[in-house]
């Protein structure tokens, strides 16, 4: 039996997480530069931008009518009410976001978001009709303690607990080892591939083989133009979630092109 019978059906996916960067004009200019690059026919790569929530509306308008998708970096675990400073999944959808990042390592480790909270956020996002990019990954201490699989498995299964597989058809997973995010350290293609294959197997246990063959698992953590192609050529690495390098067209556009098979 071939190892990866459905690999060809997974369109490569490159996403840019802008975090807490840029101003209004810089956000629009960056989106316009990515748009121009992606409008050529037959790009064959899905591209998603995650601007700061405050600029979503304007970035959505900049990307309207293009193949680009735009998403939020986070959403509240509640639908509405007395939650000062929060943004609901429905609000993201209302201004034209089609996706949301859930469980980014900075949400887990800087803001202390726990697995139960992230599960509630996934439910909110699905209820609002958003696609979810679920981020998972181990810290350096967990890797050194040989707990990578256990940690990623717990993060994946707790975020998706009890959710019917039919609701997860627009889910993607981003494996982002915490020690590689914003540090310049990258998992080697072999290290990343091993975790991706493990996660896909685990996901098969949650949703079945077909869902696992179709789900796109992105790698994130110091992806740059010079390492993107080696990472993306791994059989279970279906794309890249890019932080720092997504802020500069001269770095992000070559990463998009590295997704072309």
Active-site residue, 176 included: yes
Site string for ligand PEP, 232-261 (x = CB under 6 A): ---------xxxxx----------------
Can you list the pairs that 17-21 forms with residues at least 24 positions away whose Cβ atoms lie under 8 Å? 17/50, 17/73, 17/101, 17/104, 17/220, 17/241, 17/242, 17/243, 17/246, 18/49, 18/50, 18/51, 18/52, 18/73, 18/246, 18/247, 19/52, 19/73, 19/106, 19/243, 20/52, 21/52, 21/247
Residue 169 or 183 having the CB closest to ligand PEP: 183
Residue 77 or 176 having the CB closest to ligand PEP: 176
Site string for ligand PEP, 117-146 (x = CB under 6 A): ------------------------------
Helices (H), the chain: 24-38, 56-63, 89-94, 105-109, 115-127, 140-144, 148-159, 189-207, 209-214, 225-232, 249-258
Residue 117 or 222 having the CB closest to ligand PEP: 222
Q: Minimum distance between the CB of residue 153 and ligand PEP, rounded to whole angstroms?
A: 20
Q: Taking CB under 6 A as the criterion, which residues in 140-199 touch ligand PEP?
A: 176, 181-182
Residue number with the shortest CB distance to ligand PEP? 243
Q: Minimum distance between the CB of residue 243 and ligand PEP, rounded to whole angstroms?
A: 2
d(CA 165, CA 206): 8
Which residues fall within 8 angstroms of residue 30, CB to CB, at 6 or more apart?
A: 18, 22, 49, 247, 249
Q: Minimum distance between the CB of residue 246 and ligand PEP, rounded to whole angstroms?
A: 7
Cβ atoms 172, 215 nearer than 8 A: yes
* 219 phi-psi bin (left φ>0, alpha ψ -120 to 50, beta other): beta
Which listed residue (17, 73, 155, 227) binds ligand PEP by CB under 6 A?
A: 17
Active-site residue, 196 included: no
Q: Count residues contacting ligand PEP (CB under 6 A)? A: 13
14 makes contact with ligand PEP (CB under 6 A): no
222 makes contact with ligand PEP (CB under 6 A): yes
Residue 31 or 255 having the CB closest to ligand PEP: 255
What phi, psi does 226 have (nearest 5°)? Answer: -85, -10
Q: Minimum distance between the CB of residue 221 and ligand PEP, rounded to whole angstroms?
A: 5
d(CA 118, CA 123): 9
d(CA 152, CA 173): 11
Catalytic residue, chosen from 104, 106, 113, 196, is: 104
Q: Minimum distance between the CB of residue 104 and ligand PEP, rounded to whole angstroms?
A: 6
Q: Minimum distance between the CB of residue 253 and ligand PEP, rounded to whole angstroms?
A: 15
Active site residues: 104, 176
Interface residues toward ligand PEP, by CB under 6 A? 17, 176, 181-182, 220-223, 241-245
């Amino acid at each position: 039996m071939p190892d990866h019978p459905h690999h060809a059906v997974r369109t490569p996916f490159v996403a840019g997480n802008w975090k807490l960067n840029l101003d209004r004009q810089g956000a629009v200019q960056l989106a316009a530069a990515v748009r121009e690059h992606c409008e050529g026919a037959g790009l064959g790569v899905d591209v998603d931008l995650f601007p700061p929530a405050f600029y979503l509306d304007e970035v959505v308008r900049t990307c309207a009518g293009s193949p680009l998708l735009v998403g939020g970096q986070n959403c509240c675990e509640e639908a509405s009410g007395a939650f000062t400073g929060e943004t609901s999944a429905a609000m993201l959808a209302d201004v034209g976001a089609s996706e949301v990042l859930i469980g980014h390592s900075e949400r887990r480790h800087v803001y202390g978001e726990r697995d139960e909270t992230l599960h509630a956020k996934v439910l909110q996002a699905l209820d609002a009709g958003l696609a979810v990019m679920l981020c998972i990954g181990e810290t350096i201490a967990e890797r050194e303690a040989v707990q990578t699989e256990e940690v990623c498995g717990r993060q994946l299964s707790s975020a998706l607990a009890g959710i019917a597989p039919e609701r997860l058809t627009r889910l993607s997973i981003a494996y982002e080892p915490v020690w590689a995010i914003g540090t310049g350290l990258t998992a080697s293609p072999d290290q990343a591939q091993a975790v991706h294959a493990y996660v896909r197997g685990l996901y098969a246990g949650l949703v079945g083989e077909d869902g696992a063959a179709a789900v796109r698992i992105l790698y994130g953590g110091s992806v740059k133009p010079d390492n993107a192609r080696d990472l993306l050529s791994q059989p279970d690495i279906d794309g890249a979630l890019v932080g720092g390098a997504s802020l500069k067209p001269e770095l992000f556009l070559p990463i998009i092109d590295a997704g072309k098979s």
